[in-house]
Structure 1
Amino acid sequence: MKNFISVISIFKHRSYTIFWIGNAFSNLGIWALGAGRSWLMQELTNSPFMLGLLALSGSIPLLFFSVFGGVIADRLNRLKLITFTRACFAFFAFITGFLIFQDFINPLQLIIITLCTGTLMAFDIPSRAAIVPNLVPKSEVPNAILVYSFMFSGAGLIGPTYFGPVVNNLGIETLFFLVGISYILTVIMFLLMPQISSNSSAEKSSVLSDLIQGISYIINHRAIGWVMFSGLLVGIFGTSYSTLLPTFSDITLGTGVYGFSYMLFSAGLGGLIGTIFLSFYSKIKLFGIIHTNSAILIGVGVLILSFAPDINIALVIIGFLGIVGMSFGVVNNTLTQSLVDDKYRGRVMSLYQLTWAGTSFGGLIIGTIAENTTVRDAFAFNGIITIIICGLISFFVYKKIKPILPSLES
């Protein structure tokens, strides 16, 4: 209980609190945007491959722009930058809703819009991730990141309660209009925040020079690189199972949009439980073993999911995957943030976001497998690969970072 009280005391910092509330609105939007697009593509195509292609289209821009987004995050005012990107997200959400309302939407348009928002994410994520440590003292950064993850869990829990009813009764276009409104509310909250000074550590150097320095920093600090690499692998082979949940619900189990909504709720509930669990075990010295075990358990969960006979068993397994998936993600992020020097934070986090993109790249892989076999076969393949490869890599990472974990605690 003492650890939990210590964690939530982070809200004594006013700027962090406003930032958290603003992101709570946008995370509902991000969650609904991803779920809405996936279900829309399922309705348009009934193709696991197209679901994977949609997921990939949101990540391709990260390959080309993420490192530059990180450089910009280290040179410009991060708060102003993410305020601009959230306004753009609102615009694209309204455009999507309008196209659906006019019965003009098609898979190509959906992929193009996703490419555009993926480009925005390449600039949004590094600044969003790097701004949190600027809002609290360094000693409170782990707690700040942990509490920040609560909003992701909350979005995953709250979102499904309205996703099914809205889509089924009001139409999926209404969902996208609500997403646009949530982003507008985020912009308003960010405009209410006190301005945060720019972290322009390299204002006098070129963008290319900044980029090279960021890559060199990761190469010279191998612990950071290994933590990021493990996150990338888990994203590709572990958490990418979520890409196929629309098809798993609609075709494999025959439970439609409500089944998909229940799956999302179960994953969100699991994520919240995982976050609460970490709030009681928030000592960084424990994060190494949690990191390894959660990677292996993600693989175990995905493998078991391939044998789920009905929606009820599937929901239990997906809830379990929510717990271990959130645990791995928060620990992986916290370790990276704790290891990196602040002046390189934006550039490192721009490369770190490629680990988040791993789920999207993995989505195309698992979607291709499912297109040519079955969703169950695709789940089984990814589960086995995650247990073997991701488990071994995460254990290696634990061995690399174990000696330095006590120093990070201070």
Structure 2
Amino acid sequence: MPSFPPTSPTLSPASFSNPSKDAETPARDAPAPSDIPAWLPPALHVFAFRDYRRQWVGAFASSIGSWMQQVAQAWLILELTASPFYLGLDAFLGMAPMLGLSLAGGAVADRIDRRKLLLASQAVQLSSALTLAILVGTRALQGMLLVYAILGLSFLTGMAQAMSGPAYMALLPNLAPKPFVGQAIAGNAMQFNLARVVGPMLAGLVMARFGATACFALNALSFLAVMAALATIHPPPQVSAETAQSWTQEVLVGMRYVFGDPLRRRLCILAALTTGLGIAVPTLLPQYAKAVWRGDEVLFSRLAACSGLGAVAGALVVAAVAKKAPSLPLVFGAQAALGLCMALLAVTGWLWLACLWLFAGGALLVAAYALVTTCFQQSVADDMRGRSVSLYMVCFRGGMAVGGLLAGTAAQWWSVPATFGLTGLALVAVGAWAALDGRPMTPPALGQTAD
């Protein structure tokens, strides 16, 4: 299943690797202007580089397959259990490994070949999807036994993603010259959000005609695309991490740096609250389509595509706004507006209006995620960036994991609309609290080093 949102922040001013190591890493030479086709728009110049282009295509194909499985898997769990709690539990198990393994994955990514680590991760995820396709297609397991198998495979997939996520984030900036790293990161976020539109729409069509098994099998095949890309790219030689401190000591220094500073600590709290409350809609959307609109898997896939279209729009808007440093009031406004959309989604009685709120909510969800992440990046000194971002992602993804489980539990006890309303109002309150708090939240200048 795909990460939600993409694990690499969309607007990073620097790569995730330790900048002190970056100086030692062989960098690609920037091409002469004549090396870039004249017909290629400036915003897409990064696609002139073969390695990045291959990896983008492979990742896009894999993301489409992952979104197809996410839609089919959520609908299958709902049909087997008729319980939103299991939707939340599935989301929790898919994201929980990030809490314990992301820091370890970052350390591993600095010490072994990142391509080999990524290939191993893709092989595990391919095996998981193929196993699920076989279990469902052959009816080897049924009822709650199948549900438990799905939950176990979600946890296995989450472990593979947690271990390989830092390696992918560290590899991506090495697929293009340094002047194009910003475009490379933005392009990665764009392929993920485009897949959020294409994947659910294809899933609805495939499920209606061939069933969920076909979605799982197609996802398994999609991993071959990214594995082929990884096998044929040639990034610069990787420089292994060399440090006088142990990994544990480095993590402790990073924790003191992040959580000992009021600004960075508050941004981590805001990230956890935003993801924890905002994840309610993506997690409970299958139950919303079925219980509120009496819809089937086709309607669910269309509602998911509406949210995906909004996410693409939100990513484009934030990319334009980010040409100027994103101000903190934009973060607070995006959080409050997202909460309002969730509350309105809970009370609307027209399907077309629900689609509109899902579109707006998808845009605001991505905007809030990206703006909080970018503000955090701007508050971090260059020589602490790698450790700081790893800790931030624990808060970011940890909020998702816990929020998904709590949303499923709340919907089980009350209802999906009530859960949307409560989490939406809570998100409005979070935005108001952050905006009205009198303590200064001014990020330091980029490039500042740690004391």
Whether TM exceeds 0.5 here: the answer is yes
How far does the alpha carbon of each residue in 1:66-103 deviate from its partner, in whole angstroms, 9 at most, with x for none? 22112222333323322221121111100010000111
Match of 2:69 among 14, 33, 38: 33
**384-393 vs 263-272, greater mean Cα deviation:** 384-393
Shift in alpha-carbon separation, 1:178–1:251, aligned structure 2, 3 A: same
Q: 1:402 to 1:344 in 2, by over 3 A?
A: closer
TM-score for the superposition, normalised by structure 1? 0.89
1:329–1:64 CA distance, 2 compared to 1 (3 A): same
Q: 1:70 to 1:265 in 2, by over 3 A?
A: same
Higher deviation after alignment, 317-326 or 33-42: 33-42
The reply to whether residue 133 of structure 1 matches residue 169 of structure 2 is no
1:260 CA drift (Å)? 0.6
Corresponding residue for residue 110 of structure 2 = 74
Report the CA distance between 1:132 and its aligned residue: 2.8
Which region of structure 1 is more displaced relative to structure 2, 123-132 or 260-269?
123-132
Q: 2:424 aligns with which of 383, 387, 394?
A: 383
C-alpha distance in 1 between matches for 2:175 and 2:222: 23
Distance 1:404 1:205, change over 3 A: closer
The 5-angstrom pairing of residues 300-379 of structure 1 reads 300-337=340-377, 340=380, 346-354=386-394, 355-379=396-420
Count of aligned pairs = 405
TM-score by length of 2: 0.81
Tell me how far apart the structure 2 counterparts of residues 326 and 67 of structure 1 sit (CA, whole Å): 24
Distance of 1:165 and 1:398 partners within structure 2: 51
1:141 and 1:378, CA in 2 relative to 1: closer, same or farther beyond 3 A?
same
Q: How many Å separate the matches in 2 of 1:214 and 1:104?
A: 47
Contact 1:20/1:148 (<8 A) preserved: yes
1:240 aligns with 280
Which structure's CA Rg is the greater one? 2
Query: 2: CA distance between counterparts of 1:141 and 1:53?
Result: 36
Amino acid at match of 2:399: G
Gaps of 5+ in 1: none
Query: 1:143 and 1:396 mapped to 2: Cα distance?
Result: 35
Question: Which residue in the other structure is 1:181 paired with?
Answer: 221
Aligned pair 1:159/2:199, yes or no?
yes
Q: Distance in 1 between matches of 2:306 and 2:367?
A: 15
Change (3 A) 1:292 1:398: farther
- Equivalent residue for 2:128? 92
SS in 1 for 2:255: helix
Cα distance in 2, alignment partners of residues 109 and 341 from structure 1: 44
2:86 equivalent in structure 1: 50
Q: Provide, for residues 13-67 of structure 1, a one-character-per-residue CA deviation record: whole Å limited to 9, x for no partner.
A: 4433332222112221332232222111111101011111111111222222222
Aligned equivalent of 1:218, options 254, 258, 265: 258
Greater mean deviation of Cα atoms: 301-310 or 398-407: 398-407
Matched, 1:24 2:60: yes
- 1:185 Cα deviation after fit: 0.8
* Alpha-carbon shift at residue 128 of structure 1 (Å): 2.0
Corresponding residue for residue 148 of structure 1: 188
| Cα distance in 1 between the residues matched to 2:122 and 2:261 | 33
1:359-407 deviation line (CA, Å, top 9, x unaligned): 2321111111111111111111000100111443377699524553798
Within a 5 Å distance, the mapping from 1:177-216 to structure 2 comes to 177-202=217-242, 205-216=245-256
Structure 1 distance, partners of 2:265, 2:43, is 27
Q: CA deviation at 1:120?
A: 1.0
The change in CA–CA distance for 1:110 and 1:343 in structure 2 (over 3 A counts) is: farther
Answer yes or no: is the 8 Å Cα contact 1:10–1:140 preserved in 2.
yes
Instruction: State the partner residue of 2:138.
Output: 102
Cα distance between partner residues in 2 of 1:215 and 1:388: 28
Q: Could you tell me whether the CA contact under 8 Å between 2:382 and 2:448 is conserved in 1? A: no
Bigger shift: residues 355-364 or 114-123: 355-364
Question: In 1, distance between residues paired with 2:435 and 2:153?
Answer: 35
CA contact (8 A) 1:77 1:197 kept: no
Does the 8 Å CA contact 1:223/1:400 hold for their aligned counterparts? yes
Greater CA deviation, 110-119 or 204-213?
A: 204-213
One-letter code aligned to 1:300: L
Number of the residue aligned with 1:268: 308
Report the alpha carbon displacement of residue 206 of structure 1 after superposing the two structures with TM.
3.5
Confirm or deny: 8 A CA contact 1:74 1:346 kept in the other structure. no
